[in-house]
Structure 1
Amino acid sequence: MTTSAPAKILRTASGREASRWVFDHCRSAPVLPIATAVATVAGAVLQIVPVFLLGTVVDGVVQGRDASMLWTTGIATVVSALAGAVMTAISTYLVGRLGAELLARLREGAVRAVLGMPSARVEQAGRGDVLSRVGDDVAVISAGFRTAVPTMFSAVVLVVIATTGMFGLDWRLGLAGACALPAYWLALRWYLPRSQPLYRARSEAQADRAQALISGLDGIATVRAYRLENAFRDRVTAESWRVRNIGVDVFHFFGRFIGRENRAEFIGLGLIIVVGYLLVTGGQSSLGQVSVAALLFHKLFVPLGLIMAFFDEAQKSGAGVTRLVGVLTESGGDELVRSAVAVDADARPLPVSVRGLSFRYPDSEHDVLRDVDLEIPAGTSLALVGATGAGKTTLAALVAGTGTPLTGSVRIGSHDLADLDEAGARALVSILTQEAHVFAGPLAEDLRLAAPDATDDELMDALRTVGADTWVEALPSGLRTEVGEGGERLDATKVAQIALARLVLGRSPVVVLDESTAEAGSQGAAALERAALAACRGRTTLLVAHRLTQAVAADRIAVLNSGRVLEQGTHEELVALGGRYAALWAAWRFGTAHTDCVPR
């Protein structure tokens, strides 16, 4: 099998793109955003009403007014405080609900985008990057939308309302408090450009850690066979330390930001006290007004403190949003966007023509395939034979339409795969690899992934074709039996038979089999080879031959070496030729004469 390409992670959107996506979503369903804004503003106004009432009390005491004023002011304070608490609770609920809807739409869109990407692009990015986005990033955004976002949104609105109130009292008091804003702005301007790359770097490091863990677990048998446990553990440990070190840097950086914010608070409160003293002594303002201004600015300490406390969480959520929006806009990046061409695929076989095909993985200096020419007449089969790394799997993937060649073309009938989107390619070509998967749920629903409208009789016919009807009928509930995680345990042979049954149900005119029987044992492999032949009967078939018995059963054979086709012909022709295939055949015959194992 060809060595996988170096990972090239999925696109990350800019902050402006992420903000535009959120704005467009809110504009498409404006009722909830508007209700959220109204409730938040009302809650903020009601929270500062008691402060103004307290200023009235101070002026009343200075002026020697009647004590009955205290009852009226006290009742108004209690009512406004209770109303403010209710509106704040409503605002928090609405902000959380709005965030949940945004996250649901973003998550579903990201998953849909990944499922709609060319398979080669997903493999190129690596499952670690994909899973970290739809897993870790979604978890971070969800936590942020539950706590940080509602809190920060309410705090920002309260800051705006309180600042407006200070200017309403006296423009000079408002200006004194506003003098703190440049200090806040400078702190944010210093922090934001430096923090965002750190958060993105941490997310990417988490993706690399996930990829290292997944790759090791997927190949755990190989890891143990070659005694690579220590190397695997060291790699995961190194990636984990990288995540930890970036996290420490983020924490230290955030602490410096908090210090700058505290200096801004000191500047604002100090200026209000000084200006208020001068205004009161000059008779230009009352003691009550100055008291209200100082209390309003002091009241800003709580929302500003909350903003700072949750800013770290909000930054994480923001970085997660940019990564998920980047998945949504992946097709707008530097990847090739194919034209969507309608294809009327039926069960009739179509010829396959490969002309001048070359392929190179990104960031690689060597071609995996070079000037490959192949012809597979309609309804016939061609087996690819060659050593590991010869390019068999890469060629099979390109014929299946899951990659873009560097040069040359692949035509299925009259269609050039380069002109088709993946849906069009799937209508023409079905690919089955050794990594067959059974999804959790009823067996019938698993089979209907290939044919949603298939009846139970059609499902059983497909299972009968691949020799799986007997054991399926023996299941506790037949086709209704739960399989996959949490359900009936199926061995590798049965899983492969289900995949072959899906292939039968798909009815595409061309089939690509990439070592689809490799995971079964010797007896199971023989049965699966017969099942694969039955599933492909009447179709044009390209198969990566894992065993020479598969190659013998094919109509023609192509021998690959270092990305080039060395020999083509029938089994008899190639044996008579006395070249590479003849040597492989002789070695296989000698091996089977001395061992009971089928060579792999």
Structure 2
Amino acid sequence: MSAAETLLPVANRADVRRAALRLVRADRRKFAGTLLLNVLAAAAGLAGPWLVGRIVDEVRAGRGVGAVDRLALGILVCSLAQLLLARWARRAGNRFGERTLARVREGYVENVLALPSCAVERAGTGDLTARGTADVVTVGSTLRDAGPELLINGVQGLFVLGAVFALDPLLGGIALLALTPIWLALRWYLRRARDGYLAQGAAGSAVAEIIAATAEGARTVEAFGLAERRIAASRDSLEHSRRARFHTLFLRSVFFPVIETTYALPAAAALLLGGWLHARGEVGVGAVVASALYLQQFVDPLDQILMRVEQLQSAGASFARVEGLARASGPADGRPTATPSPDSTPAPDTRIEVRGLHYAYDHGAEVLRGVDLAVRPGERLALVGPSGAGKTTLSRLLAGVDRPGTGSVTVGGVPVTELAPEVLRRQVVLVTQEHHVFLGTVRDNLRIAEPAATDDRLWAALAAVGADGWVRESPDGLGTRLGAGGHPTDGSQAQQLALARVVLADPHTLVLDEATALLDPATARHTERALAAVLRGRTVVAVAHRLHTAHDADRVAVMEHGRLTELGTHDELVAAGGTYAALWRTWHGDAARA
């Protein structure tokens, strides 16, 4: 599977435009104020060349120095007004950009938190990291700097061209015609730039992913002697990123030299045509001079606009990658996403049913083949079987993390794929051996599951999973800071915190996938019993590698090669003498010898 196939979605042009309009509407008064200030600044800037033209005409007419002085004073006043208005407009634009950037960051975090875990797992953390850092920074610098500058120069450029047309339409027309080479170069560049910058961003995400994966698995890489292989993979990824960056550099190396060599054409054309018209008596010298000055003045905003257009292509690609997360609410494998219904709540019996379930990862071989299973409310069901039998995949489908290829998984008669995320998380919770301690206090880590929980509830949840002892012995109890720079936690303590969060979430169905794998046997058994006591009357589906979990369950489901081959109580399956009985005898004998 290529890196491009695993990356998260990218928003199309229409989605980017709609997102940009939403950001403008969210602060439309400030945006309108910024636009007005830019218009006033541009209008003040138009006075200078016109007044210079007037001075030329006054001198040619032989009028006195007083008239020239008054016009020169007007130029000074207008220049000062333009300076103040432009400064005010730039400040307003920067403030607008910073507020908008804050909304972009907040939206990015909301979209990340709303991502299905399967989408994150398949894309990896590198793509998310690149989008949340490099892409957001690019968007931010554009909103803060390029946006206001583009607005200012755009208004100035339009006003300048309008002034030339007002002086003489023919001079304005020839000036526009002289801009044709710039238009052709811009069109060539825009057709290629967005795809080039998107490819550059994707290559950067791939580099971030391989670096993150190598760093995270450094001990595994060292233990299995994979250093050379990882170095080679990193070099390939970096080479791909280098080629992508060189492509965008090539586009810029063609675009900018062309436009820079054509900047003088409008003013030159206006002078040549203006001289010819003046010789015919159709236009005055002052108008020709003013037009030339306007078009020379036009060079600076035009140059800034074209520079910012190049930056906008990079920022547009980055914004498309940031906004693309909003499109990742469905499965990463391309299957259609069901529309969640706010009223899709399971029936009171909360019965879980699996019918004709088939599933394959990324169009590969089937992991599950025709699984049929009914889990009764309040039942404790253990899933057992050899590695690769499909236990974890089934548990993820029961929890709504992945979507069935064919068949269905329902909770209370409602397909889990149609449950709104906030409803599903209150109904079915999946707990795996993967866990995370968040930066903050013990209290903060627990209240992720239930923000309104009192300290008494937090202590009760910790006691339920056997974690209250080490928390009380910590420096500040519930106020003890955890994570980097805080109180250290080992794997078992981190997993106990995860289980305590489950107790606080209080779901009616709990799916445990090796949730106590990192605990020592005595602690794991104590935690499982405590958790079972708290969740009595609720449905528990446990992927069991320690068969004492299966022994304690109401029923045991045996998975082999993606199929459900045995289902019954522990005693029934042992008496049947099948696969489970063989597993039990092997495990029980090993446990007895131990």
TM over 0.5: yes
* Partner SS for 1:513: strand
Equivalent of 1:136 in 131, 134, 138: 134
Matched, 1:394 2:420: no
State the match for 2:359 in structure 1. Answer: 359
Name stretches of at least 5 consecutive residues in structure 2 with no aligned partner. Answer: none
State the match for 1:377 in structure 2. Answer: 376
Find the aligned partners of 1:216 and 1:515 in 2 and give their Cα distance. 25
Gap change, CA 1:150 and 1:82, over 3 Å in 2? same
Deviates more, 1:117-126 or 1:421-430: 117-126
Relative to the length of structure 1, the TM-score reads 0.91
Deviation, structure 1 residue 386: 2.6
Deviates more, 1:392-401 or 1:262-271: 262-271
Find the aligned partners of 1:334 and 1:478 in 2 and give their Cα distance. 47
* Partner SS for 2:71: helix
Find the aligned partners of 1:5 and 1:19 in 2 and give their Cα distance. 27
Equivalent of 1:171 in 149, 169, 172: 169
State the match for 1:303 in structure 2. Answer: 301
Gap change, CA 1:237 and 1:393, over 3 Å in 2? same
Deviation, structure 1 residue 254: 0.8
Deviation, structure 1 residue 398: 0.6
Deviates more, 1:522-531 or 1:150-159: 522-531
CA deviation vs aligned residue, 1:158-178 (integer Å, no higher than 9, x gap): 111110111111112111211
State the match for 2:426 in structure 1. Answer: 427
* Partner SS for 1:574: helix
Find the aligned partners of 1:387 and 1:212 in 2 and give their Cα distance. 31
Find the aligned partners of 2:95 and 2:3 in 1 and give their Cα distance. 42
Find the aligned partners of 2:485 and 2:508 in 1 and give their Cα distance. 35
Q: Which amino acid aligns with 1:31?
A: R
Deviates more, 1:112-121 or 1:368-377: 112-121
Is contact 1:179-1:267 (8 Å) kept? no
Gap change, CA 1:7 and 1:563, over 3 Å in 2? farther
The equivalences for 1:266-277 within 5 A come to 266-277=264-275
Find the aligned partners of 2:342 and 2:79 in 1 and give their Cα distance. 63
* Partner SS for 1:179: helix
Is contact 2:464-2:527 (8 Å) kept? no
State the match for 1:227 in structure 2. Answer: 225
Find the aligned partners of 1:4 and 1:48 in 2 and give their Cα distance. 55
Is contact 2:352-2:409 (8 Å) kept? yes
* Partner SS for 2:387: coil
Find the aligned partners of 1:19 and 1:239 in 2 and give their Cα distance. 31
State the match for 1:95 in structure 2. Answer: 93
Matched, 1:58 2:56: yes
Find the aligned partners of 1:572 and 1:222 in 2 and give their Cα distance. 41
State the match for 2:339 in structure 1. Answer: 338
CA RMSD across the alignment: 2.7
Is contact 2:278-2:284 (8 Å) kept? yes
Gap change, CA 1:70 and 1:388, over 3 Å in 2? farther
Gap change, CA 1:341 and 1:148, over 3 Å in 2? closer
The equivalences for 1:321-332 within 5 A come to 321-330=319-328
Deviation, structure 1 residue 534: 4.1
The equivalences for 1:16-165 within 5 A come to 16-165=14-163
Gap change, CA 1:343 and 1:198, over 3 Å in 2? closer
Find the aligned partners of 1:276 and 1:305 in 2 and give their Cα distance. 24
Find the aligned partners of 1:343 and 1:186 in 2 and give their Cα distance. 55
Relative to the length of structure 2, the TM-score reads 0.92
Matched, 1:545 2:544: yes
Matched, 1:471 2:460: no
Equivalent pairs, count: 591
Equivalent of 1:215 in 213, 216, 237: 213
State the match for 1:493 in structure 2. Answer: 492
Percent identity between the two aligned chains: 36
Equivalent of 1:313 in 306, 311, 314: 311
Find the aligned partners of 1:328 and 1:80 in 2 and give their Cα distance. 48
* Partner SS for 2:497: helix
* Partner SS for 1:10: coil
Find the aligned partners of 1:532 and 1:462 in 2 and give their Cα distance. 9
Deviation, structure 1 residue 5: 12
Q: Which amino acid aligns with 1:337?
A: A
Gap change, CA 1:450 and 1:349, over 3 Å in 2? farther
Q: Which amino acid aligns with 2:431?
A: L
Deviation, structure 1 residue 138: 0.7
Gap change, CA 1:335 and 1:35, over 3 Å in 2? farther
Q: Which amino acid aligns with 1:342?
A: D
Deviation, structure 1 residue 587: 4.0
Is contact 1:401-1:422 (8 Å) kept? no
Deviation, structure 1 residue 350: 4.0
Find the aligned partners of 1:343 and 1:35 in 2 and give their Cα distance. 45
Q: Which amino acid aligns with 1:63?
A: A
Deviation, structure 1 residue 475: 2.0
Deviation, structure 1 residue 444: 1.6
Find the aligned partners of 1:223 and 1:546 in 2 and give their Cα distance. 26
State the match for 2:236 in structure 1. Answer: 238
Deviation, structure 1 residue 531: 4.4
State the match for 2:511 in structure 1. Answer: 512
Find the aligned partners of 2:150 and 2:28 in 1 and give their Cα distance. 21
* Partner SS for 1:512: strand
CA deviation vs aligned residue, 1:94-141 (integer Å, no higher than 9, x gap): 222222233322332232233223332333343333332233211110
State the match for 2:459 in structure 1. Answer: 460
Deviates more, 1:198-207 or 1:579-588: 579-588
Find the aligned partners of 1:552 and 1:498 in 2 and give their Cα distance. 26
CA deviation vs aligned residue, 1:554-586 (integer Å, no higher than 9, x gap): 232222222112222333433444433344344
Deviates more, 1:267-276 or 1:534-543: 534-543
* Partner SS for 2:559: strand
Is contact 1:350-1:378 (8 Å) kept? yes
Deviation, structure 1 residue 508: 1.0
Name stretches of at least 5 consecutive residues in structure 1 with no aligned partner. Answer: none
* Partner SS for 1:408: strand
